[in-house]
Amino acid sequence: MKPIVEYTDFRMFMRDFYEDRKLRSAFSWREFSKNAGFSSPSYMKVVCDGKSKLSKIGVERTGMAMGLTGFEMDYFRAMVKFGQAETEEKKKAAYEEMLAIAKVYKVRTLEGDLFQYYDTWRNPVLRELAPIMPGATPGEMAKMCYPEVSAQEVRDSLDFLTKAGLLKKEAGNFVQSETSVKGSTDATRLALRGMHRQMSKLATPALELPKEERNFSGVTMGLSRESFGKIGCVLDECRRQIIAIAAEEKNIEQVYRLNLQLFPLTKNVKENENEKV
């Protein structure tokens, strides 16, 4: 079974614990629930299936039933908070707590670096900018950014990108370790939503740039669920084609951001009518 800090989903951790025990003994959901002090013989399975939550007392009982102690128990508590948080703010705080616990005990979480990567717009921008400015100082890179950033902020991002393996030094210059950065956990998706918010804010002042340096367009339209899905597929394919063009570029001159946004401006009229019936 993987170390607990390689998990971000407490239900998946509990299920893997169950499967691991079952392989080595006649372990059952009934026994698991009993060991955790629950009267319902299937309660642990119900929790793992996402049909019920763990209370604070339930978290402690479950952790003890799985033999968790020390920082592993602390990590499990934070992981349950993350999985059961009702707001994005609480979810982010819980995940940052998970990362902090892992860091204290010098354990690197599987996608913790990606979470930090998407936490600020500076990281993806400097990952693209640093390689096309060989020999440049952090101060020189800072002067090239929209909006204005400090040399120290650039230095912090470069240090992080290097430690995370997203940039590396070759002959004294920065180069990208991989052509793309991807993540698929709930934590990464949470950080990505924050990144989208930051990039949307950066788009507003970009309207003041000369038309030759930016491309803005938009359309307001009425759609059905079906046509929304079709347009979404077209946008996905468009994005893939654009990424392919960018990946083939050998003479990069500038760092750009493309936002593809399709979102509702009203509630669903037909669903609203059904509620009135």
pLDDT in tens, 184-205: 567 777 888 888 989 999 999 9
Domain-located, residue 66: yes
Mean pLDDT is lowest, of 130-139, 165-174, 177-186, for 177-186
Mean of all residue pLDDT scores within the chain: 88
Same domain for 148 and 104: no
pLDDT at 110 over 50: no
61 vs 2: which has the higher pLDDT: 61
Query: What is the structure's pLDDT at 103?
Result: 75
Please give the tally of structural domains in the chain. Answer: 3
Mean pLDDT is lowest, of 53-57, 120-124, 262-266, for 262-266
Enclosing domain of residue 91: 4-108
126 vs 110: which has the higher pLDDT: 126
Q: Cβ distance 42 to 29 under 8 Å?
A: yes
Same domain for 232 and 153: no
72-95 b/e (C-beta count within 10 Å ≥ 16 → b): bbbbbbbbbbbbbbeeeeebbebb
**Can you tell me the mean pLDDT for 114-119?**
83
Residue that is last in its domain, among 84, 108, 132: 108
Which helix (H) or strand (E) segment holds residue 233: the answer is helix 225-248
Same domain for 202 and 119: yes
**DSSP H helical segments within 36-180, as ranges?**
43-48, 56-65, 70-84, 88-104, 112-117, 122-129, 138-142, 151-163
pLDDT band at 275 (very low <50, low <70, confident <90, very high): low
pLDDT band at 149 (very low <50, low <70, confident <90, very high): very high
38-65 b/e (C-beta count within 10 Å ≥ 16 → b): beeeebbbebbeeeeebeeebbbbbbeb
Domain-located, residue 215: no
Same domain for 57 and 15: yes
Q: Percentage of residues in the chain with pLDDT exceeding 70?
A: 92
Same domain for 97 and 56: yes
Same domain for 226 and 204: no
Q: Each residue of 220-255: pLDDT tens digit?
A: 999 999 999 999 999 999 988 998 888 888 899 999
Q: Each residue of 21-80: pLDDT tens digit?
A: 998 888 999 999 999 999 999 999 999 999 999 999 999 999 999 999 888 999 999 999
Query: What is the structure's pLDDT at 179?
Result: 60
